[in-house]
Amino acid sequence: MANVEFMGKSFEVDEDGFLLKFEEWTPEWVDYCKDGEGIKELNEEHQKVLDFLQDYYKKNGIAPMVRILSKVTGFKLKHIYELFPSGPGKGACKMAGLPKPTGCV
Amino acid sequence: MAKHKTPLLDQLESGPWPSFVSDLKLEAEVRAKNEKNVNYQIPVEVVEDLLGVLELSFTDGETHWKHGGIVGVFGYGGGVIGRYCDQPEAFPGVAHFHTVRVAQPTGKYYTTEFLRQIIDIWDMRGSGLTNMHGSTGDIVFLGTTTPQLEEIFYELTHDANVDLGGSGSNLRTPAACLGQSRCEYACYDAQGLCYDMTMEFQDELHRPAFPYKFKFKFDACPNSCVCALARSDFSVVGIWKDEIRIDQEAVAAYVGGEFAPNAGAHSGRDWGKFNIQTEVCDNCPSKCITYADNKLTINDKECVHCMHCINTMPRALMIGNDRGASILCGAKAPILDGPQLSSLLVPFIKVEEPYTEVKDVVENIWDWWMEEGKNRERLGETMRRMGFQKLLEVTNTKADPRHVQEPRHNPYIFWKADEVDGPWERDVNEYRKRHQR
């Protein structure tokens, strides 16, 4: 476990760089993550994915299935990988501040 | 001198079986000496520390790996299993100990040139330890650090021309028996189909898009040497439709004792003289084999293709010439709702390049399961929840007696509205005209 300082904010993260507490998420977190996730500039489409993940998580307490993410955003999985090269789990969920995906991965 | 004392593990160096402890110690030594002058990219003492943490687990009877781990390479959603030690100060060499799954050639035939090439990559950028192979089939590279993942991936793809395997909620690495490469029972080119399907569905393998994991396995005959029926959601098992070919002279050679039954598989014990009646005819599950007047006859219409007679007399009995495969679906381990073997879906399908018929079945299943499958629900569980009938519908398969072991014994039978006369919507007042309250 480590603490990350960025633009005057402090974030508690695990080894994989996931936020330990969803409540600690701030827009600065996204800026901090993007290089490590292979993203140069965030656009509206990135934002749409992040917003949906956060809404869904707040409402349901879990991350949505990939299919639901695709359906609601209208982005095919291929496009989601173009936006987030390490994919919806390791990339988008991490930047949105959601807990680390678990299970047989 | 070893870094950690390992008295419990040391006991596993005795005995006749190849000792993984001795092998680990040897590798630890090779790394410490570094006679080849390898520019090690992860701690030199990784193997020592692995032995140390394993000894600690032996001592206290508990695992010392933290929960989960999400690492990978850009572009893919799987292929690497992240892992961190929960005692990183005591065992810094395995603070990161990620597993990389590498796609294996079907049938696992190798040249030393290829193996040397990938192991050179792994010696430098990983622990030097492997699992040959994971149960699903992958070459498993055991233990490296996060910064090395992209480096390993670059060298595997650019230099060794080999990709990662699958992990996560996706198509996992397919595997096949060694099929026609060296088995006379092979009813189709299991390796050919396995390779073709792996290449066809690379997207589904590398980027998780499914409700849960999904596995293909390809057995070229019902002996099932890759256990497709038990270990894959989509099991393809070779079969033939026409007659078993009989060489009566070879049958006589078995009866006469010139050929050993089961190719000598039971030669370690004296089972007496080969008795074709008790060892073949009487063991046939459908009792469709007779041996009379020095002649073996098979009533092929009643044969269930169990392989017993062919396995017993491989030089006399051969698979038929009209070959293909059966497709079975839904095998899984117990979690969540109990273990399942695959259930027969397509009794017979031709298996010929470019394998369009087989791929159509897969794609129809995926279309349905990706839409209807719940989060973390295996195909076998979706089949149970929604009914086998639904699987038949989505794969355009006509229901057939071969789809069941026995018919249902309960009368809770659903009918579709258009199968019954008149609509479901009935007026109770009409009924009351004939039946008073």
B77-86 pLDDT per residue, tens: 999 999 999 9
Instruction: State how far residue A101 is from chain B, nearest Cα, in angstroms.
Output: 7
State the average pLDDT over residues B255-262: 98
Residues 6+ apart with CB under 8 A from B418: none
Instruction: Write down the residue that tokens 């402090």 correspond to.
Output: A10
Q: What is the pLDDT of residue B80?
A: 96
State the average pLDDT over residues B59-64: 98
Mutation site, A1, A14, A15, A67, interface B, largest B CB count within 10 A: A15
- Among the partner-chain residues A67, A87, A102, the one whose CB lies closest to the CB of B77 is A87
Residue B146 backbone phi and psi in degrees, to 5: -55, -45
- The span from the CA of B325 to the CA of B273, in Å, is 36
The pLDDT confidence band at residue B428, using thresholds 50, 70 and 90, is very high
Q: What is the pLDDT of residue B319?
A: 98
As a whole number of Å, the end-to-end CA separation of chain B is 95
Mutation site, B65, B66, B70, interface A, largest A CB count within 10 A: B70
Confidence (pTM): 0.94
Quick check: B196 and B355 in contact, CB under 8 A? yes
Residues 6+ apart with CB under 8 A from B299: B288, B289
- The span from the CA of B71 to the CA of B94, in Å, is 15
User: Which residues on B lie below 8 Å from A103 (Cβ)?
Assistant: 376
Q: Is the bond leading into B4 cis (omega within 30 degrees of zero)? A: no
Q: What is the pLDDT of residue B170?
A: 94
Q: Tell me, yes or no, if B213 comes closer than 8 A to chain A by beta carbon.
A: yes
The H-or-E segment that residue B202 falls in is helix B202-206
Quick check: B196 and B188 in contact, CB under 8 A? no
On the question of pLDDT at B89 being above 80, the answer is yes
The pLDDT confidence band at residue B252, using thresholds 50, 70 and 90, is very high
On the question of pLDDT at B12 being above 70, the answer is yes
Quick check: B81 and B66 in contact, CB under 8 A? no
Interface of B with A in 155-194 (CB under 8 A): 167-169
- The span from the CA of B191 to the CA of B218, in Å, is 8
**What sign results for the dihedral spanned by CA atoms B362, B363, B368, B370?**
positive
B80-81, strands of its sheet edge to edge: B80-81, B99-102, B139-142, B129-132
Closest CA to B362 of B324, B401, B328, B398: B328
Contact yes or no for A16 and B208 at CB 8 A? no
The pLDDT confidence band at residue B422, using thresholds 50, 70 and 90, is confident
Instruction: State how far residue B405 is from chain A, nearest Cα, in angstroms.
Output: 33
The pLDDT confidence band at residue B73, using thresholds 50, 70 and 90, is very high
State the average pLDDT over residues B353-382: 96
User: Which residues on B lie below 8 Å from A66 (Cβ)?
Assistant: 169, 208-210
The pLDDT confidence band at residue B351, using thresholds 50, 70 and 90, is very high
Instruction: State how far residue B76 is from chain A, nearest Cα, in angstroms.
Output: 6
- The span from the CA of B29 to the CA of B125, in Å, is 17
- The span from the CA of A94 to the CA of A19, in Å, is 7
Contact yes or no for B66 and A77 at CB 8 A? no
Q: What is the pLDDT of residue B153?
A: 98
On the question of pLDDT at B321 being above 90, the answer is yes
Mean pLDDT of chain B: 97
The count of other CB atoms within 10 Å of the CB of residue A58 is: 9
- The span from the CA of A73 to the CA of A68, in Å, is 8
Helix axes B190-200, B356-372, angle to 10 degrees: 50
Residues 6+ apart with CB under 8 A from B87: B53, B56, B64
List of chain A residues with pLDDT < 70: 1, 104-105
Quick check: B277 and B288 in contact, CB under 8 A? no
* Lowest mean per-residue pLDDT among B50-54, B98-102, B329-333, B419-423: B419-423
The count of other CB atoms within 10 Å of the CB of residue B418 is: 6
State the average pLDDT over residues B268-285: 97
A104 catalytic, yes or no? yes
- The span from the CA of B300 to the CA of B245, in Å, is 10
Quick check: B277 and B332 in contact, CB under 8 A? no
User: Which residues on B lie below 8 Å from A85 (Cβ)?
Assistant: 74-75
Contact yes or no for A66 and B84 at CB 8 A? no
Contact yes or no for A87 and B76 at CB 8 A? yes
State the average pLDDT over residues B182-188: 98
The pLDDT confidence band at residue B423, using thresholds 50, 70 and 90, is confident
Contact yes or no for A90 and B77 at CB 8 A? yes
The pLDDT confidence band at residue B366, using thresholds 50, 70 and 90, is very high
Q: Which tokens belong to B154?
A: 């670059």
On the question of pLDDT at B159 being above 60, the answer is yes
State the average pLDDT over residues B5-33: 98
On the question of pLDDT at B1 being above 60, the answer is no
Instruction: Return the DSSP state at B366.
Output: H
Residue B58 backbone phi and psi in degrees, to 5: -65, -40
Give the rounded percent of residues in chain B with a pLDDT score beyond 90: 98
Contact yes or no for A105 and B81 at CB 8 A? yes
Q: Considering only CA atoms, give the Rg of chain A.
A: 13
- Among the partner-chain residues A81, A102, A105, the one whose CB lies closest to the CB of B78 is A105
Q: What is the pLDDT of residue B2?
A: 78
Q: What is the pLDDT of residue B125?
A: 98
User: Which residues on A lie below 8 Å from B210 (Cβ)?
Assistant: 66
**What sign results for the dihedral spanned by CA atoms B253, B254, B258, B259?**
positive
Q: What is the pLDDT of residue B344?
A: 98
- Among the partner-chain residues B74, B167, B375, the one whose CB lies closest to the CB of A105 is B167
Instruction: State how far residue A14 is from chain B, nearest Cα, in angstroms.
Output: 9
- The span from the CA of B286 to the CA of B83, in Å, is 51
Instruction: State how far residue B396 is from chain A, nearest Cα, in angstroms.
Output: 24
Instruction: State how far residue A9 is from chain B, nearest Cα, in angstroms.
Output: 24
- Among the partner-chain residues A16, A67, A85, the one whose CB lies closest to the CB of B70 is A16
- The span from the CA of B316 to the CA of A34, in Å, is 67
- Among the partner-chain residues B71, B74, B210, the one whose CB lies closest to the CB of A38 is B74
Residue B234 backbone phi and psi in degrees, to 5: -130, 105
Q: Choose the catalytic residue: A3, A5, A104, A105.
A: A104
